[in-house]
Amino acid sequence: MAKTGSRVTIKDLASMCDVSTATVSRVLNHIQGGYSGETEARILKAAEELGYAPNLMARSLVTKKTNLVAVLVPDIHYYFFQEFFAGLEAYLNKFSYRLLLCNTQEDPRQEEQFIRSLCNGLVDGIIVSTLNSREENELLIELNEEHFPVITLERYGEELRDLCSVQVGNFDAGRMAVNYLYSKGHRKIAFIRGKRDARNADIRYEGYLAGLEACGLQPDESIVRYGDYTFEAGRQAMSELLENGGFTAVIGANDLITLGACKAIMKTGRRIPADISVVGIDKTILTDTHEPTIVSIDFCAHQVGITVGECIMSMINGESLGKRIFRQRSVLFEDGKSVREV
């Protein structure tokens, strides 16, 4: 039965059931009133038998809704985005919304091109993430002013204006990592920073500095390096740090860096955490699967995805969120268990 991808239209159903397309449309959309139960049954039966499926394009043309949301990310590989997508997708699906995935490759030109082509009819809303310091928000601001639903994720530009933004607890993470290590007795804590031009990397570092200060520790530039958010850079940075020493613990600005650092540490025969304690940021499964398990601070990407979903759906439903910043709290994980505020 049921020719599926077939070209059966509402017109076919109409002529088959001897009614107008209007009536068919009403029945299929379960619009209250305007037809009898008998007619309804007849149309529903025909639709079922012919495997009718509405042409979403045609519908969108008149309703101005496509039930599609685009999400632009700089690089799909970041583990954070996996969880984020899962949370977002699950939330949107509840409202029959689907996710359009766009990889901007951290290229502002690509980003602009994507946005321009998507926002004119194809998607009902857009979620824009970035790792890039060269944020170009004018286009987003313009869209927002025209009441087109836009959410930014992890953007920190001066000029976000009235954009609704969702951010993770970068600052908290840096601070919590220090607090945790301090509570374990460490007084000289090294830090491997993220990408040089990434704003969220700087914020994690600022959190680290704030943590030091709160604990009454002196910051020491000689035990700080850059790690580019990659495994290799993390390993390299750690190797350099180990040459000079002068610390008993190290924090990596993300898990990849942290694992690289662990590699470097273990290569020298030192043991974790006996000789050097390690804490990661932006918890992924990586630190759980590692032997030994590494403490890491979770940005709760899944929850971030849900929050972003809530925001975009509100905007799509006409609510004006205006300038608002949602910041997800970070949570420290030790051995698979979340640890209360440290």
Partner DNA sequence: TTTGAAAAGGTAAACGTTTACCTAAAAAGA
Partner DNA sequence: TCTTTTTAGGTAAACGTTTACCTTTTCAAA
Residue 230, Cβ neighbours under 10 Å: how many? 15
What are the distances in angstroms from CA 27 to CA 47, 79, 100, 191? 10, 45, 30, 63
Distance CA(137)–CA(124), nearest Å, equals 19
206 three-state secondary structure: helix
Question: Smallest distance from the beta carbon of 310 to DNA, in angstroms?
Answer: 24
Residue 171, Cβ neighbours under 10 Å: how many? 21
Binding test (CB under 7 A) with DNA, winner from 3, 4, 6, 20: 20
Helices (H), the chain: 10-17, 21-28, 37-50, 56-63, 79-93, 108-118, 138-145, 170-183, 199-214, 231-244, 255-267, 285-289, 301-316
∠ CA 103-104-107 to the nearest 5 degrees? 160
Q: Which residues bind a second copy (CB under 8 A)?
A: 3-6, 51, 53-58, 60-61, 66, 68, 76-77, 82-83, 85-86, 89-90, 93, 98-103, 116-122, 139, 142-143, 146, 148, 231, 256, 259-260, 262-263, 266-267, 285-286, 288-291
Closest CA to 249 of 272, 220, 283: 272
133 three-state secondary structure: coil
98 binds, among a second copy, DNA, none (CB under 5 to 8 A by kind): a second copy
> Interaction with DNA in 42-61: which residues (CB under 7 A)?
52, 54-55, 58-59, 61
Binding test (CB under 7 A) with DNA, winner from 26, 186, 199, 204: 26
Binding test (CB under 7 A) with DNA, winner from 2, 48, 51, 63: 63
The b-or-e profile of 142-161 (16+ CB within 10 A means b, else e) is ebbeeebbbbbbbbbbeebe
Binding test (CB under 7 A) with DNA, winner from 3, 11, 196, 267: 11
Question: Smallest distance from the beta carbon of 10 to DNA, in angstroms?
Answer: 3
> Interaction with DNA in 149-188: which residues (CB under 7 A)?
none
10 binds, among DNA, a second copy, none (CB under 5 to 8 A by kind): DNA
33 binds, among a second copy, DNA, none (CB under 5 to 8 A by kind): DNA
5 binds, among a second copy, DNA, none (CB under 5 to 8 A by kind): a second copy
- Of the pair 64, 340, the CB lying nearest a second copy is at 64
- Of the pair 7, 337, the CB lying nearest DNA is at 7
Distance CA(192)–CA(224), nearest Å, equals 6
Structure tokens at 162: 């009235």
Question: Smallest distance from the beta carbon of 266 to a second copy, in angstroms?
Answer: 5
Question: Smallest distance from the beta carbon of 209 to a second copy, in angstroms?
Answer: 27
Rule CB under 7 A: is residue 10 a binding residue for DNA? yes
> Interaction with DNA in 98-137: which residues (CB under 7 A)?
120-121
Closest CA to 168 of 339, 330, 312: 330
Q: Specify which residues 338 forms β-bridges with.
A: 333
Contact residues: DNA, CB under 7 A: 7, 9-11, 18-23, 25-26, 28-29, 33-39, 52, 54-55, 58-59, 61-63, 120-121
